[in-house]
Structure 1
């Protein structure tokens, strides 16, 4: 009864909406509008091919699809005062003053990503003085003329990643987030601009190999910095004024100069340090002595070995995450050295993905007494009694296993390809010995998982269910036939 009432009310509301809302009147042709519960208040319009000739003044977001390759001023006809304009598509060229119209004066977000734009002139964005976010990622931009961006005094976020720039363009002074990764930038030069408000900068995936202090005037408000691909040398003075730098990511192909490492290890504000592919220098206690605030250390895809003193992590008292993904030599050296593990007792997350380990023993976990997240995926694991403790901890909720579907057994052959949490592994792996069972290894009833009984395989269980279903179907058919037979006999009797 209640379901019928709900359906009736829903149909009534749809009927009333159809009466009071005319999509063509609100959006015009080739447009769809999204609105709030009050169908008369429409905020977003999605239109195809051409800019709409009529739009309700409530529209603040316009998303255009399938525009032509050239964007002219006559094309950009907006009858509504927009705050966001999304023009992803096939645009190759933007003519000068294309956005210089009255109803775009208050535009705050312009998204031109995923087009094929090649050139931006000093008049491309004229009129957009109030723009705060500009997205030009995934284009073919090779040239940005001087003055193209600098007049936008309110611009805070600029995405220029995945283009073909060879130099850093002149930038608005109030820029706070800048993405320039995966271009062809050969020299890191900000043209003497002091970008004191810049907090986030990504310059990774470019062609430069050095950074000099005089060309890298970022001020002391930078918080996140990503550098590299072919980086070799960074002048130590680059990091001297970065007093608020919390996240640093370095990616390269060759060893860094010794003075570069000296500058990195002097950054005492760091909370996350990520090194990708770059060989590490010999490490001792003094290297991390200034990094007492470090919470996450990521040494990723480093194939070379590194000399580590036993007290190397002693100063990292706040370290919570250690990511050694794809760094087999470093990972195996750390996990097989009890002194190193014991100095990491405060770790909460340990990533050992793709490091070539076969097992992770319980005594290693005991040294990492605060560990709650473990990733041992993409390794050729040997599933035997040494992993039973880990399975029990995961099942009982004492530890979370990251990427369980990629944490699979390689040996023995009977378990090959199964996740270590598959019931066919968890039930038969190292059968429980009741005489030696302790409270620590018992699984609470609420945390228990369903296992197949020892004498019943999954296929046997499925076959039993199939037989039951067949018997039920046959019984139903017999009952139906019996009813039909009784009806026929009754009719013949009445006819006689």
Structure 2
């Protein structure tokens, strides 16, 4: 054979190269194959199936590289061992809203590295045996099932568990030491169950727990010192813990145990505390000494009637406090004084009628004060004294009068909410709010806005006057406001004549006015009068020249003039008849001799 003749077979190196490319192509294709009705993420190595109504656990051709498998909105009913034979190394399984009511003892066989198991919104009546023996699980969520009981051994093998969520079930009892072996737990959510009692042994050994939520249960017995082991706790939610308070033998003792910290134990990490809706009648001011790290404190929906002076002064790091929907009618002279980092105070839904002038003295960082749904009728001069207050919510009160100097001691006030009050006009009410940027006056009874109403509020960017009784408003009212962006005037009984002709977009263009957003308000303006334009939207008026003012007096003036004229005529007629009657009687008595009419 000629040594220069090229061989018809490819060299071994080429064969190996082609084989490698083919294998790579096949593996790549297999990696991206996605089961029907599923969504696959190659980067996350996950398969998520929703929409196809599987009647059992589907046996799919799932690539072995997949680490996360989730099914939602299915009808699985029984979680068997189908997936155990697929050779998968799953780290995360989610079966959410799949009507699962039972699980096989081998359902999780082969998943020795499973970390996350979510079984929310199913029909499980107990924690299945296969879960209790899966020691690798770190995140277990079984909220919104039908679990009604737990035993001491239920979680003992889950030594790696970090998150346990069992909210919205029917659990009525927590055995002592049920979480004893779960020393790695960080989060426990047992809210919205029917738990009847908690002892000092319930959460024993939970030294790493940071979040505990047992809100909305039916606790009738709460042991003293039940929080003692939770030294790392920073988020404690006890919202509506006592939903069955009338059954208590001693309600005051149970409520005291709710927040009593024994033996001077300090919660050096707790930042969030929610003790709303727990039938508390007095704010537990004495407890704050052991919770000096609190940042958020919620005590909504209790039965407080007063806030004592300096009650929160120990909470130097407190940022937000909410006392909404209590029965507070009295604030101590220094109720929120000396809370160094306080940012917001919420007092909505109470019975407050006035504020002590120094109730925030020393709390220099407060920027938001919510007094919605209280009983204020009048805002006096220097209503609130605070150099940093930025937002003030006064909606849904009974305010019908505001002093011209009400806001003179609020130099930073930028947002003012007066929705749902009883103001009838705007003249000088906002004169002292010179830094105001947004003002809400929706749903009052305002029928008149003076041309100088906003003359001192040159920083205004937004004005809302919807749902009032305005029939007209002058364009000059808004001339002093160079930064104005939005003005909303919807749902007022507008009298569409030349006085509001400026609202029409076409007129704005003809006048050369800048087309700010607030100027294009004719899309929302609907005429209530005169009769020929009733119920017509201003934008539908093709020729704005039809918006004319009659040379005759306005209808109200005409009615007034006619009424006065008729009254004068009626009175004159009555006097004339009386005079004739007197003369006739005099003549009758004196035999026809006229004289002075003496009754």
Query: One fold, TM greater than 0.5?
Result: yes
Q: Which moved more, 1:201-210 or 1:162-171?
A: 162-171
Distance, in Å, in 2 between the alignment partners of 1:445 and 1:298 is 29
Q: Deviations over 1:261-300 (max 9, x none)?
A: 5342343431101112333364354333323211101012
Q: Tell me the secondary structure at the aligned position of residue 92 of structure 2.
A: strand
2:399 maps to 1:339 = no
Q: Tell me the secondary structure at the aligned position of residue 201 of structure 2.
A: coil
1:322 is displaced (CA, Å) by: 1.2
2:191 maps to 1:137 = yes
Q: Tell me the secondary structure at the aligned position of residue 406 of structure 2.
A: helix
Q: Deviations over 1:185-238 (max 9, x none)?
A: 752442424322211111121212014444554331111112252013565564
Distance, in Å, in 1 between the alignment partners of 2:240 and 2:277 is 4
The structure with more radius of gyration:
2
Distance, in Å, in 1 between the alignment partners of 2:89 and 2:480 is 55
Preserved contact between residue 171 and residue 195 of structure 2 (Cα < 8 Å): yes
The answer for the alignment partner of 1:96 in structure 2 is: 152
Distance, in Å, in 1 between the alignment partners of 2:216 and 2:327 is 23
Q: For residues 50 and 269 of structure 1, do their structure 2 counterparts lie closer, same or farther at Cα, with a shift above 3 Å needed? A: same
Q: For residues 263 and 166 of structure 1, do their structure 2 counterparts lie closer, same or farther at Cα, with a shift above 3 Å needed? A: farther
Q: For residues 196 and 77 of structure 1, do their structure 2 counterparts lie closer, same or farther at Cα, with a shift above 3 Å needed? A: closer
The answer for the alignment partner of 1:63 in structure 2 is: 118
The answer for the alignment partner of 2:273 in structure 1 is: 201
Preserved contact between residue 505 and residue 519 of structure 2 (Cα < 8 Å): no
Match among 307, 310, 321 for residue 391 of structure 2: 321
The answer for the alignment partner of 1:358 in structure 2 is: 445
- As a proportion of its length, which structure holds more helix? 1
Q: What root-mean-square deviation, in Å, do the aligned CA atoms of Structure 1 and Structure 2 show?
A: 4.6
Preserved contact between residue 326 and residue 350 of structure 2 (Cα < 8 Å): yes
The answer for the alignment partner of 2:468 in structure 1 is: 381
Match among 63, 72, 76 for residue 21 of structure 1: 63
Distance, in Å, in 2 between the alignment partners of 1:227 and 1:75 is 41
The answer for the alignment partner of 1:105 in structure 2 is: 159
2:371 maps to 1:270 = no
Match among 46, 57, 81 for residue 95 of structure 2: 46
Preserved contact between residue 353 and residue 374 of structure 2 (Cα < 8 Å): no
Q: Which moved more, 1:170-179 or 1:15-24?
A: 15-24
Q: For residues 44 and 351 of structure 1, do their structure 2 counterparts lie closer, same or farther at Cα, with a shift above 3 Å needed? A: farther
Q: Deviations over 1:415-457 (max 9, x none)?
A: xxxxxxxxxxxx9884479599877x5215999699655349x
Distance, in Å, in 1 between the alignment partners of 2:68 and 2:385 is 69
Preserved contact between residue 232 and residue 254 of structure 1 (Cα < 8 Å): yes
Q: For residues 217 and 15 of structure 1, do their structure 2 counterparts lie closer, same or farther at Cα, with a shift above 3 Å needed? A: closer
Distance, in Å, in 2 between the alignment partners of 1:448 and 1:68 is 57
The answer for the alignment partner of 2:260 in structure 1 is: 190
Distance, in Å, in 1 between the alignment partners of 2:540 and 2:115 is 61
Preserved contact between residue 485 and residue 518 of structure 2 (Cα < 8 Å): no
2:203 maps to 1:154 = no
Q: For residues 219 and 40 of structure 1, do their structure 2 counterparts lie closer, same or farther at Cα, with a shift above 3 Å needed? A: closer
Q: Which moved more, 1:156-165 or 1:275-284?
A: 275-284
Q: For residues 166 and 31 of structure 1, do their structure 2 counterparts lie closer, same or farther at Cα, with a shift above 3 Å needed? A: same
Match among 282, 294, 312 for residue 222 of structure 1: 294
1:182 is displaced (CA, Å) by: 1.8
Distance, in Å, in 2 between the alignment partners of 1:14 and 1:85 is 27
Q: How many residues align structurally?
A: 413
The answer for the alignment partner of 2:351 in structure 1 is: 279
Preserved contact between residue 380 and residue 405 of structure 2 (Cα < 8 Å): no
TM-score (norm 2): 0.58
Q: For residues 328 and 256 of structure 1, do their structure 2 counterparts lie closer, same or farther at Cα, with a shift above 3 Å needed? A: closer
Distance, in Å, in 2 between the alignment partners of 1:12 and 1:76 is 31
1:136 is displaced (CA, Å) by: 1.2
